[in-house]
Amino acid sequence: PRSFRIVVLPGDGIGPEVVSQAVRVLELVSSSSSDFDLKLETHDFGGCAIDKTGEPLPPTTLKACQEADAILMGSIGGPKWGVDAKIRPEPGLLALRKTLGLYANIRPANLASESLLEYTPLKPSVAQGVDMIVVRELIGGLYFGTRKEQGVEPDVDTAWDSMIYSVSEVQRITRVAAQIALAADPPLEIHSIDKANVLAASRLWRKVVTETLSKEYPQLKLDHHLVDSAAMLIVASPKRLNGVILTENLFGDILSDQSSVIPGSLGLLPSASLAGAPSAPSADFKPTPGLYEPIHGSAPDIAGKGIANPIGTILSAAMLLRYSLGLEAPAKAIETAVRKVLDTPELGGHGLRTADLGGSIGTTELGDHIIEVL
Amino acid sequence: PRSFRIVVLPGDGIGPEVVSQAVRVLELVSSSSSDFDLKLETHDFGGCAIDKTGEPLPPTTLKACQEADAILMGSIGGPKWGVDAKIRPEPGLLALRKTLGLYANIRPANLASESLLEYTPLKPSVAQGVDMIVVRELIGGLYFGTRKEQGVEPDVDTAWDSMIYSVSEVQRITRVAAQIALAADPPLEIHSIDKANVLAASRLWRKVVTETLSKEYPQLKLDHHLVDSAAMLIVASPKRLNGVILTENLFGDILSDQSSVIPGSLGLLPSASLAGAPSAPSADFKPTPGLYEPIHGSAPDIAGKGIANPIGTILSAAMLLRYSLGLEAPAKAIETAVRKVLDTPELGGHGLRTADLGGSIGTTELGDHIIEVL
Ligand SMILES: CC(C)[C@H](C(=O)O)[C@@H](O)C(=O)O
Ligand SMILES: CC(C)[C@H](C(=O)O)[C@@H](O)C(=O)O
C-alpha cells in the first residue's frame, strides 16, 4: 500500500481534545483500507512549544512538517501568550505557512445539515442554501510585505505596512480557485473580491484573475465585487456569493471569518492551506503538501472540559484526505458520517450535539458516534 | 440671525431625487427659525460633472465646498463612468475628502423603528437593539499611502499600496470617537478594531487609542477586537459591539458597510464626514466643516423613477445640523419626524414606506409626509 506521513500538531487549549478525535477517524480510515497507510506523528507547536522550547515553531517541528505529506493541526494561542507577550504563537503559524509555501487557504461555509438552521444568526430564509468556499491567498499581501514599526527611525511617529502582489502570485491562487470550481458538477461560479477602485494591488489582482480565467478556464463564470460590497452581501443575501469566493490575504481573513458564522457554530467548519492545486488521482500522483485545521480558536474557557465540538477538526481530516492525498472516497465517507450523526435524533429531538449546538454530549462521545457510523 | 452656507451636491443616479427632499426639509427648518438662516447653493459633482467639465470635482465646486460651513451630497457614480472609464467619479470624492481634511467618517447603524425588524436579514432577536456608530478614519491608511501600479518600473509584474498611520492621525480620530461617546448619556463604550497581531500600523493604532483615551478620557470604556473577529461579531451578536466602533480607513469601509445591512435597507442610513470633532454650542462657536451623504449608492436601476428612499439623505441633513452647525433641536426634530412617519400605519398596516421597504409610496410623497409632521 502507498504510505503517507501525516504530522499532527495538537496545539493549545481545546486543540489536543478535538485533534484526538480526528486522529481516531484517520486511524480507522487507514486500518480499513489495504490501498494506503497513514503514518501519524505528533509534534509541539504554538504556546505549548513556547513553554517547552522558547519558540512556537521549534526546528524539529518545522523539519517534520517539511517532510510530511500533510499536517493536521488543532488550534494555538491562549491568554498565557497574549498580545503583550514577547514570544507569541501566531508568528509560528505565519512562519509555517510561509516556509511550506501554503499559499492557498480554502474554507467552505455551508450548513452541514438543514437541522442546524436554528443556530444561524440569519433568518432561515436568508441562510438556507448558503454554500460558499472562500479561496484566500495566504502568503502575500499586507501579511508579508515590508513594514516599519512605530519608534523606528527616520520617523518614530509613524508605522506602515505594505500590500504587495505579483502577477504570478495571483495567477497561482486563481488556478487553485478554478480547480476547486471545476471539481463540482456543474462547475461553481467564481466571485473575485478586491478594492480595485482604490488599491493598485487590487487593480493588478482584478486584471490577472480576469486574464488567467479567460485564457485557461474560459468555461468558468466570473464576477468581481468590491470588498465593502461583498461584506454587505454576505450578511444580506449570502447566496448571491454561492460558489468560490477568490480573494487576497487580508480580505480573505475578514470575509472567511464573517461567512463562517452563518452556519451557526464555528465548531463545525474545517479549513485547508495548500502548497499547490488539490491533488487529482492520476498515474504520477504526488501528494500536495497542506495544513488542515478547524477554523475555531483554542477556546481557553472550555479547554480541558471535554465538551468542545470535534467536527471542524474531523472535517479537516476529510479535506486532508481529499486535497493532499487524493483520497476522495474516505473523505466523502467521513463527511457523510458527520452529517448522519448531526441528523440523528437524540432524546429530545435534537441530533447528537455538543454544547455549542445546544446539545449535551462530550467531545469523545461525539467522536464515538462518528466512528461507529463510519 | 446667524447665517450658514451649505453647498448641495446632488450628484448622479437617484442623488438629485433624494437630495431634493432633504433640501425641502432644510429650507423648512431654516424658514421656521429666527435664530439661523441656511443659504443653500447647488454645484456639480461626480459623473454629471465629468460629462459637463471633464472632471468629477471641478475647481468651482471645490472652491464652494472649501468656503461652505457644510456640504450635503446625494450619491455619485454609475455604469456610464464604470471601472474601465478613464475618468471616474470616485477619485473626485477621495480628493474632496482629502482637500477638506474630512478625517472622521461617522456612520450610525440602528433600527430607526422596531417596525422595521421584518426587513433585517438577521433573526429579529439578533438584530433587535443593535445601536452602533462606526467612526472611521477617512483620509489615511491604504487609501492615501504611496502606491505603485502594475506595469511601472523597476518591477512591471508587481503592484503595491502602503498602509501608513502617524500618532497624530490616530489621536485626532480617537478624540472624535470619544466626543461622540460622551455625547450620549450614559457615555457609549468604545470598541477599537485593528489587526495588531499582524500589522505594524495596527500596533501603533492600538497603542495610541489606548493611551489617548486613558489620558484624556479615562471615564470611557474601551476594548479591542481584531478585524476578523469583529466581522464575525457584527453578524453573530452585533449588540456586543453596541456603542462606538473606532477603526482605520479600510477596516471602516468594510465594517461600516457590513453593519449597514442590519437595519434592512441601505436607504435609511445617513453618514457624516467631519474635519474635526462635532461642534458643541458655545460662546465662540464655529461650524465644523463636514460632508453629509446617505450611505447608499446612485442606484442607476431605479434612478428617475421617483421611488428612491429619501430617508438616508434627510437623516444626513439632520446630522449636518447637529455636527457641523451645533443645532441639536432641529436635528432631533427631523429624526423624530422620520421615525413617526415610519411608524404611521398606512393602508395595509405598514408604515409609509418606499419600495425598498415593501411599501408603495414615492420619494416626494414620503418627503411630503415628513415635512408635514415637522
Ligand atoms: C492568527 C492570525 C495571524 C491568522 C490570520 O490572520 O491569518 C488567523 O486569523 C487566521 O485566519 O488563520
Ligand atoms: C467610493 C469609494 C472610494 C468609497 C470608499 O471606499 O471610501 C466608498 O466605498 C465609501 O465608503 O464612501
Domain ranges of chain A: 1-107+265-374, 121-262
CB B136 within 8 A of CB B253: yes
A45 pLDDT exceeds 60?
Answer: yes
What's the confidence (pLDDT) of residue A150?
A: 96
* pLDDT average, residue stretch B85-106: 95
Going by C-alpha positions, the residue among B12, B17, B18 that lies closest to residue B44 is B12
pLDDT tens digits, one per residue of A126-156: 999 999 999 999 999 999 999 999 999 999 9
Q: Residue B350 has what pLDDT?
A: 58
Neighbours of B186 (CB within 10 A): 9
* Mean pLDDT for the stretch of residues B40-60: 97
Q: Which residue has the higher pLDDT, A366 or B282?
A: A366
The Cα of B51 is separated from the nearest Cα of chain A by a number of Å equal to: 20
Ligand 1 atom having least distance to the Cα of A253: 11
Q: What residues in B contact A260, CB-CB < 8 Å?
A: 232
For this structure, is B284 an active site residue?
no
A1-107+265-374 matches A121-262 in fold: yes
DSSP A191: E
The CA distances from residue B269 to A214, B107, B256, B266, in Å, are: 39, 8, 11, 6
For residue A292, the SS3 value is strand
DSSP B115-129: GGGGG-SB-HHHHTT
The stretch A104-109 carries a mean pLDDT of: 97
**If you search the block for the grid coordinates 427648518, which residue do you land on?**
B29
Using CA coordinates, name the residue in chain B closest to A77: B197
Tell me the per-residue pLDDT of A60-97, one tens digit each, with 9 for 90 and over: 999 999 999 999 999 999 999 987 788 999 999 999 99
- Grid coordinates belonging to B164: 501608513
Return the C-alpha cell found at A368. Answer: 464515538
- A150 to chain B: which residues are within 8 Å by CB? 167, 200, 203-204, 207
pLDDT of A350: 58
Residues 6+ apart with CB under 8 A from A232: B257, B258, B260, B261, B266
- Class of CATH domain B121-262: alpha beta
Clarify whether B143 is annotated catalytic.
Answer: yes
Strands (E) in B195-348, as ranges, are: 222-226, 243-247, 270-274, 290-294
3-state secondary structure of B234: helix
pLDDT band per the 50, 70, 90 thresholds, residue A31:
very high
Q: Is B119 an interface residue toward A (CB < 8 Å)?
A: no
B235 interface with A at CB cutoff 8 Å: yes
pLDDT at A284: 73
Q: Which atom of ligand 2 is nearest to the CA of B271?
A: 12
Catalytic residue chosen out of the listed positions B228, B286, B305, B332:
B228
Q: Three-state DSSP class for A265?
A: coil
The three cell numbers of residue B97 are 475628502
Q: How many angstroms separate the CA atoms of A22 and A9, rounded? A: 12
H/E segment holding residue A99: helix A89-99
Question: H or E segment at A291?
Answer: strand A290-294
Q: Which residue of A has its CA nearest to B264?
A: A236
Q: How high is the pLDDT of residue A281?
A: 65
Residue to mutate (ligand 1; options B195, B197, B202; most atoms within 8 A of CB): B197
Contact status, residue B114 vs residue B184, Cβ threshold 8 Å: no
The architecture that CATH gives domain B1-110+266-374 is: 3-Layer(aba) Sandwich (3.40)
- Give the mean model confidence (pLDDT) for residues A288-315: 95
Chain B positions touching A261 (Cβ under 8 A) are 232, 235-236
Catalytic (active-site) positions of A: 143, 195, 228, 253, 257
pTM: 0.96
Local confidence band at A349 (pLDDT 50, 70, 90 cut-offs) = low
Cβ neighbours of residue B185 under 8 Å, at least 6 residues apart? Answer: none
Element (H, E) at A246: strand A243-247
- Residue B148's SS3 state is strand
Residue nearest to atom 9 of ligand 1 (CA): A253
E strand map for A150-201: 158-166, 190-194
- Mean of per-residue pLDDT scores for chain B: 94
What digits encode the pLDDT tens for the residues B312-365?
999 999 999 999 999 999 999 999 999 988 887 765 555 678 888 888 889 999
CA angle B297, A205, B299 (to 5 degrees): 10
Q: Which of B289, B303, B249 is nearest to B107 (CA)?
A: B249
Output phi, psi for B134, to 5 deg: -85, 125
Q: Say whether B293 sits in a helix, a strand or coil.
A: strand
CA of A222 to the centre of ligand 1 (A): 27
- Return the C-alpha cell found at B62: 471645490
Question: Which site among A250, A255, A298 would you substitute to test the B interface, given the most B Cβ atoms closer than 10 Å to its Cβ?
Answer: A250
CB pair distance less than 8 Å for A160 and B162: yes
CB A65 within 8 A of CB A31: no
Q: What is the pLDDT of residue B138?
A: 98
Q: Does B81 touch chain A (CB under 8 A)?
A: no
**Alpha carbons A29 and A23: distance in angstroms, whole number:** 10
Going by alpha carbons, the residue nearest to atom 10 of ligand 2 is B253
Q: Which of A368, A256, A349, A259 is nearest to A310 (CA)?
A: A368
Q: Of the listed B131, B161, B257, B368, which one is catalytic?
A: B257
Burial of B154 (0-12, 13-18, 19+ CB in 10 A): exposed
The pLDDT value recorded for residue A115 is 76
**Cβ of residue A211 closer than 8 Å to a chain B Cβ:** no
What CATH number was assigned to the domain covering residues A1-107+265-374? 3.40.718.10
Binding-face residues of B in 248-267 toward A, CB within 8 A: 250, 253-258, 260-262, 266
